[in-house]
Structure 1
Amino acid sequence: MGDHARAPAPGALPRAEAFAEQARLRYAEATLLMRRAHRARNEATDRREAAEAWHREVHNELRSRRREVSARTAEAAREAAALRPAGRSGLVLFGTDFCGVHDPTAIMSATLAAALTLSQARMGHVQLFDDASDGLRIVSQYGFGRDFLNFFALVRDRDTACGAALAEARTVQVRDVGQSVLFAGTKAGEVLLDAGVRAVRSIPLISNGLRLGVLSVHYSAPHEPDAAEQHLLATVASAGARRLVRPPVLPLGGEPAGDGDGAAGVAPGDQRGPQAR
């Protein structure tokens, strides 16, 4: 007998086709999973690169900010040193060692020192209200000559920045003395200009509702303090006023009092010039 092809076993073909179909499905599933994995890997790579770029950006920004802060700090230190009048103690008013000081002249000298340290002013004075003479008398000053001190020895009216500040219980700012309506055509304006004063800021010293005196700072050029300088000066004036336990009754006589740190204190009875008009 000749060789005959072996016939497939019954049912073998359907099983083979089913197996092939399952293989195709599994291959398709594996391909899909591989594509998803590849896409997820690409997305992870993109996220990592974005995170690294963000980290570099933040790092560079922080480094730039640190340099900027460092530069500003150094500049502020230089400005503070430049603004601090030579020979003055600066911020002694806020020192713990100063808490036991109760002398009004010493307190006002420290108040003026702090005001000149924390502002752009180059001159200044503090006046306290004298009940006996019913006016403001200078108890501490920095930067002025005898003509100025004699003229402003006693201020009773409100026709000056300091007089208006006390009478109206508000800060008075004169940006330009030469152009000010307050000082136009007045002797007080002439005295200020002769003393090299071009701008004035007078802040009333008020504590417990009592008007105790006036802190005035003077500038050598027309000037309008910014918000920061205004706040610092108001803080200094408030701190100085709080240190005055009660309205001071200043003696009418006595020797000129120095403040011990370079700013000449002025004894009330030593001033005999005309009042500010």
Structure 2
Amino acid sequence: MTQLLKCVTLSLVLVAGIVSAQERTITLASTTSTEQSGFFAQVLPKFKAQTGIEVRVIAVGTGQAFDIARRGDADALLVHDRRGEDAFVEEGFGLERRDVMYNDFVIVGPSTDPAGVAATGTVVEAFARIARSESIFTSRGDDSGTHRAELRHWREAGVEVGRTRWYRELGAGMGPTLNTSADLGAYTLSDRASWASFRNRRGLVVLLQGDPALLNPYGSLLVDPARHPHLKHRLARTWHDWLVSEAGQRAIAAFRIDDERVFLPAAAVATHD
């Protein structure tokens, strides 16, 4: 009987340990750019070392990340579509949004630049030239933050891409889209982190950057507890607060790809402003 009691006690201790470990884990719905660039591989261990909380990332397009959170399948969001983020909060799904970091979009394309994009100064003019010349443009077409930004720029340029011969919607992430662009000698819109980590460039080069319209802010959002009370709101709040803390902003600033900073902490932007 005593041996049985010891076994039961040990089992309870083990189960309690497993439950405790599970309780110290949150699920984050985020973007492919943060995952594939290696950002999370560097930043998340620092967060865990300071808090003991493990973050499990679901890396998808921003639109899919919103859907995951709306269903109550993620404790927090880190995405890059400000209009969508504000709508998420206004619709009652999000409790709070905070600026975390910035990078920018770039237009990349063949070094021969048949549309003359490099001679333009704005994304609107560049897109208009691509459309006029009917140069091939590859679009992610996946409702990601990048895709949403791209569609806004087409509208601002007065271009209806629709079913055109030169516009190719892929329904793919940034890496596959860049690979297709390299294969076809096509233009595309990429976030800087994805471009910096992309190795199969062949004849692709950056043809336009620096337009303020290409600024790409990333926001952290908490899911409203009233909407999904089963989520780990306290732990998600710790992550949310850490991202904008001095420690979190330092971790973001320290991330580099080939010694290039590809994400700028929001605190640095605010100080500069």
TM-score (norm 1): 0.28
Q: Which of structures 1 and 2 has the larger relative contact order (alpha carbons within 8 angstroms, sep 6+)?
A: 2
Larger Cα-atom Rg: 1
TM-score (norm 2): 0.28
